[in-house]
Amino acid sequence: MYYCGDEETIAALATGKGKAALAVIRISGKEAIEKIKECLLPEGKFQKVLPNRINRYNFIDNETKKIIDEITAIKFVFPESYTGENMVELVCHGSEIIIEDILSVLIRKGIRLAQKGEFTRRAYLNGKMDLMKAESIDQIIQSTNRIHHKCALEMYTGNSKKTLIEWKNQIIAILSDLEARIEFPEEDDILGKKIEYKKNIAGFVEKIEKEIKKREKIKLLDFGFNVPIAGIANAGKSSLFNLIVGFNRTIVHHEEGTTRDAVSEEAEIKGRRIKIIDTAGLNETDNTIEKIGIKKAWEYIENGNMIILVSPANQELKEDEKTILKKAGKEKTIVIISKNDLKKTENKNEYFKNENIPFMETCLLNDQNREKVLDFIGKHMETFLNFDDENGIICNKRQEEIFFKIRQKGKKTLEIMDNSYEDMISYELKGILNDFEEFFGEIRDDEILDAIFSEFCVGK
């Protein structure tokens, strides 16, 4: 039999989990069409219909002959499919039980469950798309924020590649000039040329650097902008947490040491998704469980991306609160002075003003202050995340690591430029070109592919 897909036929649920009107199960591989036809009634229909047409069938358990679901199915004949192999897409009802039953039948028929990214990996191996496009598909799906999404879409449409090829060509231009100089060392003044090279390479490194910085911010958005709420016991941390999350997730109570475990929740403030963490109050305690909570609280404070210190107006500023500012870093901390309806013991405002730390005063038990508090937090989050309008290039970890390598070689080139022979400089620049090739996926390596596609979701 001629090639029409991988020997191993694979299947996976391609749509989201959970109850829904519909679900799509994808099957790809040499025998995809052959094997599915035995599960569809009326008999013979699936063989006869033309590819790319949707039709209704009963999907049956081919052993018990019982109907599992009424479905629609489309067959795609290689190479005219996503993977470039024979493929079938089944659209069944979005019930967990039906999906499970259909996949069980497929497994019994010798079809195996697809690994993460295996469909796209096959598409790439069968020449249906280049590596950057394959990666971008995953990133389009994974991205939970518009900036990352836009970045992935630019990669998908090929715009990012255009930019990268331009940059690569700048290096090629320098390199060929340099190579010519190695062959004909007598011509021209080398010092003047080196100044020009340095200027160009410095500009190049700057662009690389900028992309790495954009990536840093995207990662903050992607992997959760962690915002621990810190403070002494009974400062109003849980009240703030509830105010943000919007319902009584934790028990708010006047007694000290109420929040033992750190409680966290995904929340959206001014359109940005963050993880807000209610930590244990930093009070002295002999209680072993509370001690565990306090130890955790310090960890959250040190690892947070932005820390909200809640400090009650009716108590003096404590040593622990100053330690929070120190451990978290002033530039990462904002302060909410709570309980401003109670009698003030000292002028905390003055202190935070002098220290140049953003603060607001409020009463957290009053729901009417919610918007004001969210505005305050949101405004300061933006200063951390401050994106310009440009599209980023780096979409994932692999690409990020290659950018690190390029930056390093670029910087090294600048360092050695003045005191090195042309061939040493040329060596570094060739390394950069090699890195670009790796980025574009022009170098195929099974281990690298494993690493790339194992990050994908199943069914893609």
Chain residues binding its own copies by CB under 8 A are 12-24, 26, 52-55, 67, 69-70, 74, 91, 93-98, 119, 137, 140-146, 149, 153, 156-157, 251, 253, 255, 258, 260-261, 287-289, 292, 457-460
Residue 96: enclosing H or E segment and its boundaries? helix 96-108
Q: Whole-number minimum distance, CB 87 to its own copies, in Å? A: 11
State in angstroms the smallest separation of the CB of 38 from its own copies: 21
Nearest alpha-carbon partner for 236 in 315, 330, 311: 311
Kindly tell me which of 242 and 362 has the beta carbon lying closer to its own copies: 242
Rounded Cα distance between 88 and 152, Å, is 27
In sign, the C-alpha dihedral spanning 385, 399, 224, 321 is negative
Residue closer to its own copies by CB (options 156, 359) is 156
Least separation in angstroms between CB 295 and its own copies: 13
**What's the closest the beta carbon of residue 5 comes to its own copies, in angstroms?**
18
- Any idea what the Cα angle at residue 310 is, between residues 306 and 268, rounded to 5°? 50
Please identify, using beta-carbon distances, which residue of 14 and 402 lies nearer to its own copies.
14
Smaller CB separation from its own copies, 198 or 296: 296
- Residue number, 69 or 438, with CB nearest to its own copies: 69
Dist CA 3 CA 86 (whole Å): 10
Burial class (CB in 10 A: 0-12, 13-18, 19+), 10: buried
Nearer to its own copies, 255 or 389 (CB): 255
Nearer to its own copies by Cβ, of 258 and 283: the residue is: 258
Enumerate the β-bridge partners of residue 338: 312
* Minimum gap (Å) between residue 399 Cβ and its own copies: 19
Residue 96 C-beta: closest distance to its own copies, Å: 7
Which CB atom, from 138 or from 422, has the smaller least distance to its own copies?
138
Nearer Cβ to its own copies, position 75 or 348?
A: 75
For the bound state, the minimum distance from the C-beta of residue 225 to its own copies, rounded and expressed in Å, comes to 17
**Cα 251 from Cα 37, distance rounded (Å):** 57
Q: What is the DSSP string of 320-369?
A: HHHHHHHHH-GGGEEEEEE-TTSPPSS-HHHHHHHHT--EEE--TT-GGG
DSSP letters spanning 223-263: S-EEEEEE-STTSSHHHHHHHHHSS--S---SSTT---S-E
Closest CB 210 distance from its own copies, rounded Å: 24
Least spacing, CB of residue 375 vs its own copies, in Å: 23
Number of other residues whose CB lies within 10 A of the CB of residue 1? 6
Least separation in angstroms between CB 260 and its own copies: 7
Coil, helix or strand for 28?
Answer: strand
Query: In this complex, which beta carbon is closest to its own copies, that of residue 261 or of residue 442?
Result: 261
| Beta carbon of residue 161, minimum distance to its own copies (angstroms, whole number) | 16
**For residues 223 and 266, is the Cβ–Cβ distance under 8 A?**
no
- Cβ-based nearer residue to its own copies, 38 or 70: 70
DSSP for 261-321, written as a single string = S-EEEEEEETTEEEEEEEPPP------HHHHHHHHHHHHHHHH-SSEEEEEETTSPPPHHH
Distance (Å, whole) CA 282 – CA 293: 9
Please state, in angstroms and rounded to a whole number, the distance separating the CA atoms of residues 403 and 407. Answer: 6
Contact 325, 310 (CB under 8 A): no
